[in-house]
A and B are shown apart, each in its own frame.
Chain A
């Protein structure tokens, strides 16, 4: 995008004034280079979101924003149900509650290196990954509904997780007001054998080394130390979430006009929060959130089992588990008034600052961990939420964001080439798909360091630690 088409209101804050049907402005957090790298359609989509009924304050785009469907990926928007506000299936995304969890090993990099190859192979064998993989868990109807109600709490009760993890998962590991009865049989069938599977595309499990500490106090509070080792998992609600998203997207698209909603683009399909369809979607979507929380808890459990084989007694304590594709009812202060709003974060992470009453007790003093995924060959970051992120409804970025399409990446790299290049740098990649690795080449992503720096300069979240990959299990 051309920076000249925006009003610059700070070094990393840009604004589009409301025009036409826009009800609020657009605010984009990015440096000039990131703005230039964004597709024109990011601005167009953010402007379209600004036209939706009941939107409050602004339509926001994070530093990693890129062209999505309906909402930009990296988009944040809050809606007031008392002002005709809407909920949008496209504003949450198909991979409902896709997110990241990071677990802390008590090990150092020197402990990993002698077993790095074997550990990579064991993780690849034990973690179901890629298309066609089958989970080790099959759910019957009662088990499915219990999982959709209980989330990570259910997983821990079943023995596929730990009770002590729950306080370090958003919503205490269990999203309230989930309605399994609003989830279709087809969605449940799609999930029946997918619990504890990683998926494909940009989903991954990485063993990472803590390469750099930026904020010693927060790092100590989070349990991160130089040369320490962490395990990070990026995945979501698998087939169940995808099916919920698909079904409601079409239903919202075909009924929006009946609800009196004028859409600038059909892909913004949405429904009034206070409508039968809106409530049905919210109930199903919350069940999808629980599916994702349960899935990451189970994957964490599988990872612990593998680590215990190599390092007896290693418990991989959970640092945090946070989602970046959600819509949640939250209380925010807008123009001095506290309001109950439905906040959509599509490819954006909640970023609660120190002292926020919604924070888990363990993070009160330093703020919520904001987990930023890199790509196979680049760094990942742990950030800490800042109170000033409240300007954007306590939100921050979620990753690097793609700079190049999959098609273009495939033309430029081969999977073998990427695996070999990364191995030469001490990063072991295990994947069932050479083409999948090529499509996910590190060079196909934006500069994650520029993204997190912009987030820090914008006051959304501050850098705590940088991690570099040692092992990457990729779908």
Chain B
């Protein structure tokens, strides 16, 4: 069982928090880091495969990039909760203040997905959106579960 999804220069991982779970995504662009972090968010719930049967579109607006990241994860959490769905494929477009995202997934199947804990919301704890010297973007925060 893995708590990372690293492939070359993009991927996701969970990081330590006492009561909750940190998610970190990284990639060659802000959009890719955000997409990978959303994948890490889904992996808080299930490690099972998720079919990309249905697409849901979301839009976020915030005053800065870090809050936009939190808003993006909150949008995914809200769609999961309201539609009772899990999403396993994400496409993000962003200018740093506005984000348009496409989430692809399927209704939760309790027997097949065996969902663990429920994400309640993205927090501002350990919140960072940064770029390293190699140009790789990293986006992370703690998710309240």
Q: Give the B-binding residues of A (Cβ under 8 A).
A: 39, 66-70, 73, 90, 93-95, 130-134, 186, 189-190, 199-201, 239, 242-243, 245-247, 249-250, 253-254, 266-267, 269, 401-402, 405-408, 410, 432-436, 439, 475
Contact = CB atoms under 8 A, between A and B. Distances in A.
B28 interface: no
> Interface centre among B14, B66, B116, B145, by most A CB within 10 Å?
B116
B130 interface: no
B114 A242 contact: no
B32 interface: no
> Interface centre among B16, B17, B45, by most A CB within 10 Å?
B17
Contacts of A410: 1, 3
B71 interface: yes
A67 B64 CA distance: 26
Contact of B18 (A66, A190, A247): A66
Interface string B15-55: 01111110000000000000000000000011100000000
Contact of B123 (A134, A249, A407): A249
Interface string B86-120: 00000000000000000000011110011111101
Contacts of A130: 110, 115, 118
B63 A69 contact: no
A239 B16 contact: no
A439 B18 CA distance: 12
B127 interface: yes
Contacts of B109: 132
Contacts of A73: 18-19
Given A66-B19, A69-B123, A253 B67 contact: yes
B120 A432 contact: no
B118 A406 contact: no
B87 to A, nearest CB: 13
B118 A201 contact: yes
A93 B125 CA distance: 12
B-side interface size class? 35 or more
Given A69-B142, A69-B144, A253-B67, A245 B121 contact: yes
Interface of B: 1, 3, 14, 16-21, 45-47, 62-64, 66-67, 70-71, 74, 77-78, 80-82, 84, 107-110, 113-118, 120-125, 127, 142, 144-145
18 contacts: A67-B18, A67-B19, A68-B18, A69-B123, A69-B142, A70-B123, A131-B45, A131-B117, A132-B108, A190-B81, A200-B145, A201-B145, A242-B120, A249-B124, A250-B67, A250-B74, A405-B16, A407-B16
A131 B124 contact: no
B55 to A, nearest CB: 19
A435 B114 contact: yes
B124 A70 contact: yes
Contacts of A269: 124
A90 B115 contact: no
Contacts of A401: 19
A131 to B, nearest CB: 4
A84 B89 CA distance: 46
A200 B116 contact: yes
Given A70-B124, A250-B62, A432-B114, A402 B67 contact: no
Given A132-B115, A200-B115, A253-B67, A402 B18 contact: yes
B117 A475 contact: yes
Contacts of A95: 120, 144
**What are the 7 tightest A-B residue pairs by CB atom distance, in nearest-first order?**
A132-B108, A131-B115, A246-B121, A69-B125, A267-B124, A69-B123, A242-B120
B117 A200 contact: yes
Nearest to A131: B115
A68 B144 CA distance: 9
Given A69-B142, A132-B84, A406 B67 contact: no
Contact of B127 (A266, A407, A434, A436): A266
A69 B124 contact: yes
B19 A242 contact: no
A407 B108 contact: no
Contacts of B62: 250, 254
Given A94-B144, A190-B82, A242-B77, 5 more contacts: A69-B20, A70-B123, A267-B127, A407-B3, A435-B46
Contacts of B17: 67, 405
Contacts of A67: 17-19
A190 B78 contact: yes
A239 B81 contact: yes
A411 to B, nearest CB: 8
A410 B47 CA distance: 12
A70 B121 contact: no
A433 B113 CA distance: 9
A190 B121 CA distance: 12
A141 to B, nearest CB: 15
